[in-house]
Structure 1
Amino acid sequence: MDPFEQAWSHLSVRRDGAVAVVTLNRPQARNALNTALMEDLTAFARAIRRRSDITVVILTGGEHFFSAGADLAAQGERRKPTLLETRQAVMAGPDMCEAWEEIEAVTIAALEGYCIGGGCALAVACDFRIMGESASMRLPEVPLGINMSWRSLPRIAALVGPARAKRFVMFGEAATAATCLDWGFCDEMVTDGQALAAAQAWAAKLAALPPLPVRMTKEAIDAVTKAGHHAATFMDRDQYLLTSRTSDFQEGVTAFFEKRPPKFTGD
């Protein structure tokens, strides 16, 4: 079935000529990335991966948030899964980001409000990011006691450099749109509410270019900058399986909900 005619559970999809606009549509959960939403995003990306009639794909969220990140409240199975099953299940996020990275058309993330955790990982898998001036990006994983996974660390380092990548990931502090613009996370900062319109203006410029060399340019630059990404991150799901079972992770989550400083022990 044509992905533009398909009924998606948590996506709103429309097409304007050679430009596709994909909107995360799970507002009641602040577009948190549960299994169903990640499956929709992955399936859509794979369906249009080599579509020659699509030049640009814009990915956007709500007026006040792009995504609150992975949905930690989602329960996938009633019984306790085996470690092997869990190891397979945690590939949903990396697979989604990889699918968006592999789209041959140019991808633009239009961000309003907050973009957290897995939402940030998805945004950096796109070619460009345009942010409203009050928007921000944040990774809370390390301060909670787990590693940042979804194979996103090389993408972040490629955009902002190693020192800023370490600062952004380790501290878990929100980077404002102005900071993101200065660092290289953001390619344009606009008035709040205008991120999608700005992305559409970029899309119009891209759609007016000859499509073949545009795709060749994207493929060549990606090949140069991402050649070692898999070697650096193939193990990050196992790091997640380790860190998510530590006492420090339990302490980090508990301290977060109790609104107190955590006391980490390295265990």
Structure 2
Amino acid sequence: MADKLFDHQWRTIRVERREHIVEVALARPDARNALNGELMEELTEAAGLLRLRTDVRAVILTGNDSYFSAGADLSASQQRLAQPTLIESRRAVMAGPDMCRAWNEIEAVTIAAIEGYCIGGGAALVISCDFRVMGEGAYLRLPEVPLGMNMSWRSIPKIAALVGPSRAKRFVMFGEAVGTATCLDWGFADEGVAKGEALACARRWADKVAALPPLPIRMTKEAVNAVAHATAHASIYMDRDQYLLATSSQDFREGIAAFREKRPGKFTGA
């Protein structure tokens, strides 16, 4: 009998299995694993196929030895905003939130293995996993606010639950890189290892999970997530509309221009 998860010819991800553990790797090296429409669609589809599988106990999400992801593909983002009507634009910008939600809804335990940079949408994606292990020199960064955007993808409640409100504001507002040691201190990361060892560490975590009784593991994950994110939807359901508003501003155009011209932005609130 065909198994779509493993038999499918994925174009931008790799999917492998080891007994009760599945590994999903971003595989768009020509673009530093930037999250374009196709990569987000495949990650969402893979997560949907994994969601209720009872034969999978742990899922590892990883990039490669040098980087996890450069974040959302900027050109793809601008193409989505160029939809002919506002309602079509509103639908188009759900690709990122849908991807993160799909990974959050996998019943098996999810572990992100992070090497190098993990930026923007890549950071939102790994924050949707249950655990994160990071190699030395790795970092998370959200460049959205300095570029004139709000941080959307329904990620702020998860960030605040992990690190608290003050650090969440600091992380989102300033757009500064947060390295492995700080991620461990703040609560973003669960273990830090030598450079190049994040995937091996994630595999040890997955083996530990896979050796435990699967039913109470799933019950525990569901219960903790229900408590930690009880008000998440109520607090963030408008973030895609905020994104559409922010990206229609003069400050957004200035932020993108400043980024491309490698200069400080001059923002006016317009």
Q: Normalised by the shorter chain, which TM-score bucket?
A: over 0.9
Alignment of 1:156-195 (within 5 A): 156-195=159-198
CA distance in 2 between counterparts of 1:55 and 1:2 reads: 18
Amino acid at match of 1:138: R
Q: 1:160 to 1:231 in 2, by over 3 A?
A: same
Greater displacement, 88-97 / 1-10: 1-10
Question: Tell me, which stretches of 5 or more residues in structure 2 are unaligned?
Answer: none
* Residue 199 of structure 2 is aligned to residue 203 of structure 1: no
Do residues 95 (structure 1) and 95 (structure 2) align? Answer: no
1:153 is aligned to 156
TM-score, with length taken from structure 2: 0.97
For residues 176-210 of structure 1, the C-alpha deviation after alignment (integer angstroms, 9 at most, x for no partner) is 11100100000000001100000000111111100
Match of 1:245 in 2: 248
Q: Which runs of at least 4 in structure 1 moved beyond 6 Å after TM superposition?
A: none
Structure 1 residue 62: Cα displacement: 1.4
Instruction: Map 1:26-65 to 2 at 5 A.
Output: 26-65=28-67
Query: How far apart, in 2, do the equivalents of 1:255 and 1:46 lie?
Result: 38
Q: By how many angstroms is 1:73 displaced?
A: 1.7
Confirm whether residue 120 of structure 1 aligns to residue 95 of structure 2: no
AA aligned opposite 1:43: E
Q: Distance in 2 between matches of 1:175 and 1:161?
A: 15
Residue identity over aligned pairs, in percent, reads 65
Instruction: Tell me how large the CA RMSD over aligned residues is.
Output: 1.3
Whether 1:12 and 2:17 are equivalent positions in the alignment is: no
* Separation of aligned partners in 1, 2:259 and 2:235: 30
Asked if 1 retains the 8 angstrom alpha-carbon contact of 2:83 and 2:89, the reply is: no
Deviations along 1:1-41, one digit per CA (max 9) or x if unpaired, are 43012111101000000000000000000000000000000
Alignment of 1:142 onto 2:112 = no
Aligned twin of 1:256:
259
Q: 1:147 offset after TM fit, Å?
A: 0.1
C-alpha contact (below 8 Å) 2:115/2:137 kept by paired residues: yes
User: Helix, strand or coil for the counterpart of 2:8?
Assistant: coil
Residues 19-70 of structure 1 deviation map (CA, whole Å, 9 limit, x = unaligned): 0000000000000000000000001101110100000000000111100010
> Which letter does structure 2 place at the counterpart of 1:134?
G
Task: Return the TM-score normalized by structure 1.
Answer: 0.98
Q: Where does structure 1 lack aligned partners over 5 or more consecutive residues? A: none
Q: Distance in 2 between matches of 1:170 and 1:76?
A: 25
Q: Distance in 1 between matches of 2:85 and 2:160?
A: 33
In 2: Cα distance, 1:66 partner to 1:41 partner: 14
Measure, in 2, the Cα distance between the counterparts of 1:256 and 1:216. 45
Q: 2:108 aligns with which of 105, 110, 113?
A: 105
Q: Secondary structure at the match of 2:133?
A: strand
Once residues 163 and 51 of structure 2 are traced to their aligned partners in structure 1, the CA distance between those partners, rounded to angstroms, is 26
Letter in 2 for 1:13: V
Q: 2:237 aligns with which of 223, 234, 237?
A: 234
- Aligned-partner SS, 1:69: coil
Within the candidate set 107, 129, 146, 2:132 is matched to 129
